[in-house]
């Protein structure tokens, strides 16, 4: 126990070596640590390195055999190194207590080695001291994020959480449809899992991720069988550009998912925890685990209580899926017709052609060709060399007809041209302290139900100050037209879409009304406006009456215009001109402003 108190002293030594800023308590996957002290000397996964540290065990062995005069010291250092290797072996087997005991013995040997005159032996001692200190930090850090239990299998637990998902999931249409589609992809997934030594039960994970639908897209922009978000997809080699998105490629995304699952298993060592991390991210799970001050993770269901609500359903739902597919007769799955993989052959194509034209040229159904190449976003072969999958027996036909197939181009330019003519469907509102959904909905002339649906707010009146809400707007396109032409509806009200630089005062001047009228009609509390906001514009009855009698028309102010000259140009008195436009002698006019003239 007294020697254990020296751990603080060892950490102080690390600070003296100048590495305290780089070494942090963290988890190191056991598979990443070799039987030699390479990792401990800063040459492996460590964030802290030292130029004076030897690269491998061979360097230590060579230096330990120097002179007979330092024989006793050499024996002690050799024995300490042996203890370090034993600690490494114990840790890899999960025996943390014996690993710490071995490191304790190694450190005790170093404390007994004093009065070293040989500089090489002194350096070896300090290297060993550093290695022991660092390994102790890593073992204690790993104890806070490891989960005890079987690490090579998925436990088929049946508890209240799993039973709840069983009752809900077993009778759902989603589950049955997904089960039918599973036959198209599971054989390849199972084969890849076996190659990588992972449990074949993981082949059912796409059922709850995407329903075995390669085109499934979540609200978080996760796409494909395995529901990769773009950043995670890039990390594991799934490319995405204007033409392709490999997250929808079942084979490539399966290999990426397996790589991700293996990485998570190296971190957590327990498959139920891995599943939770796959759903909500390893960072979130590590944060939950590290927030605990004790090593309480004797089983996953303690961690389960601390996870987000979505993940709280995810793991039990997967375990319920395994239970259902393990008893097909009980749940009526044996009566379902399961799809089978579609055979295909590959042809290298270097011409930008559409799948529709290719299908017509080789005499197959276009939908079958699209199903074989789901990663093609626009159903067009990208420029450059591309491996196209086609039904078996059609490769010769394609190569013969490829020269006759016309070059196809994407429809993106047409889409952009149309998009420019469209007005925004939403306006945006930054939530302030005290805001409620009903107040925001009233301000933007919509309903709180629509705002909740667009922003996916499931808790009533749950708002966070500083967040931005998308506010759906009705007939924005028509409103903009009416604001330009200043035409009024049957109730004498037109609308105006707020643009950059608009203010209540400018808008009121533009339409010949007062800011008080705008506040009253639009039920505004202050003067702040949002770009894209639709304002109701009440009709100026005095102007309307005079315009019907005198047939007023509009005039756009130009540079250098002044009210007197405009009035003289249209044979109006200055008083009349100011009255019609709700101006005063001190009012200023601006280029581009529209004014009424006779």
Which residues make beta-bridge pairs with 223? 217, 228
Q: How many helices (H) and strands (E) does the chain have?
A: 27, 8
Which residues, in sequence order, are CB contacts of 456 under 8 Å at separation 6+?
A: 219
CB 598 within 8 A of CB 570: yes
User: Which candidate, 8, 2, 47, places its Cα nearest to that of 28?
Assistant: 47
CA distances, 420 to each of 97, 424, 474, 477, 488 (Å): 67, 10, 18, 12, 26
Return d(Cα 317, Cα 310) in angstroms, integer.
Answer: 11
Token pair listed for 598? 């006779």
Return d(Cα 388, Cα 22) in angstroms, integer.
Answer: 48
493: enclosing H helix or E strand = strand 493-497
In this structure, what is the dihedral angle of CA atoms 15, 17, 20, 22, given to the nearest 10 degrees? Answer: 180
* 565 assigned to active site: no
φ, ψ of residue 121 to 5 degrees: the values are -65, -35
187: enclosing H helix or E strand = helix 186-195
Token pair listed for 517? 């009228």
Selected catalytic residue, list 209, 305, 375, 412: 209
User: Which candidate, 364, 355, 365, places its Cα nearest to that of 386?
Assistant: 355
Return d(Cα 563, Cα 572) in angstroms, integer.
Answer: 10
Total Cβ atoms within 10 A of residue 202 = 23
Which residues, in sequence order, are CB contacts of 146 under 8 Å at separation 6+?
A: 27, 268, 269, 270, 297
Dihedral sign computed on CA atoms, order 472, 475, 477, 482: negative
CB 321 within 8 A of CB 208: yes
Token pair listed for 154? 């998925």
DSSP 256-303: HHHHHHHHHHHHH--HHHHHHHHHH-HHHHHHHHHT-SS---SSHHHH
DSSP 546-558: HHHHH--EEEE--
Angle (CA) 133-135-141 rounded to 5° is 105
The residues annotated with a catalytic role in the active site are: 209
């Amino acid at each position: 126990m007294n020697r254990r108190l020296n751990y603080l002293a060892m950490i102080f030594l690390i600070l003296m070596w100048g590495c305290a800023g780089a070494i942090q308590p963290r988890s190191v996957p056991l598979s990443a640590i070799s039987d030699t002290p390479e990792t401990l000397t800063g040459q492996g996964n460590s964030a802290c390195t030292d130029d004076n540290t030897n690269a491998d065990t061979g360097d230590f062995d060579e230096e330990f055999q120097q002179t007979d005069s330092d024989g006793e010291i050499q024996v002690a250092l050799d024995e300490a190194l042996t203890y370090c290797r034993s600690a490494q072996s114990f840790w890899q087997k999960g025996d943390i207590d014996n690993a710490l005991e071995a490191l304790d013995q190694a450190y005790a040997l170093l404390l007994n080695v004093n009065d070293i005159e040989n500089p090489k032996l002194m350096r070896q001692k300090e290297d060993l001291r550093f290695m022991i200190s660092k390994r102790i930090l890593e073992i204690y850090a790993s104890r806070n994020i490891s989960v005890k239990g079987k690490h090579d299998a998925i436990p088929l637990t049946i508890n209240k959480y799993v039973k709840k998902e069983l009752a809900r999931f077993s009778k759902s249409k989603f589950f049955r449809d997904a089960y039918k589609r599973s036959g198209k992809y599971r054989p390849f997934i199972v084969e890849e899992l076996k190659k990588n030594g992972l449990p074949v039960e993981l082949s059912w994970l796409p059922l709850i991720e995407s329903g075995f639908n390669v085109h499934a897209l979540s609200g978080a922009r996760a796409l494909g069988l395995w529901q990769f978000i773009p950043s995670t997809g890039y990390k594991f080699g799934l490319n995405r550009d204007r033409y392709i998105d490999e997250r929808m490629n079942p084979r490539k995304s399966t290999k990426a998912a397996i790589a991700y699952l293996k990485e998570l298993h190296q971190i957590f060592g327990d498959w139920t925890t891995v599943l939770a991390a796959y759903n909500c991210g390893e960072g979130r799970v590590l944060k939950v685990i590290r927030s605990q001050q004790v090593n309480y993770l004797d089983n996953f269901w303690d961690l389960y209580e601390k996870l987000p609500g979505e993940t709280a359903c995810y793991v039990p739902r997967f375990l319920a899926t395994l239970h259902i597919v393990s008893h097909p007769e009980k749940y009526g799955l044996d009566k379902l017709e399961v799809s089978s993989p579609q055979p295909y052959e590959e042809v290298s194509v270097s011409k930008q052609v559409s799948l529709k034209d290719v299908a017509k040229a080789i005499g197959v159904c276009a939908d079958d060709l699209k199903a074989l190449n789901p990663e093609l976003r626009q159903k067009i072969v990208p420029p450059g060399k591309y491996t196209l999958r086609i039904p078996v027996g059609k490769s010769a036909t394609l190569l013969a007809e490829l020269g006759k197939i016309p070059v196809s181009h994407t429809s993106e330019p047409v889409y952009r041209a149309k998009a420019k003519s469209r007005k925004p469907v939403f306006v945006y509102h930054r939530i302030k302290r005290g805001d409620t959904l009903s107040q925001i909905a009233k301000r933007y002339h919509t309903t709180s139900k629509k705002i909740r649906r667009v922003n996916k707010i499931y808790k009533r009146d749950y708002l966070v100050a500083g967040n931005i809400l998308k506010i759906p707007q009705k007939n924005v396109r028509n409103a903009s037209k009416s604001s330009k032409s200043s035409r009024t509806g049957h109730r004498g009200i037109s609308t105006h879409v707020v643009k950059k630089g608009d203010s209540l005062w400018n808008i009121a001047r533009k339409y010949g009304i007062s800011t008080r009228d705008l506040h009253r009609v639009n039920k505004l509390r202050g003067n702040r406006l949002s770009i894209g906001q639709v304002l109701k514009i009440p009709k100026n009855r005095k102007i309307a009456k005079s315009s019907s009698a005198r047939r007023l028309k509009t005039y756009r102010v130009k540079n250098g215009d002044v009210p007197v000259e405009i009035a003289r140009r249209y044979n109006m008195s200055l008083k009349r001109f100011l009255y019609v436009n709700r101006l005063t002698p001190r009012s200023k006019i601006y280029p581009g402003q529209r004014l009424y003239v006779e």
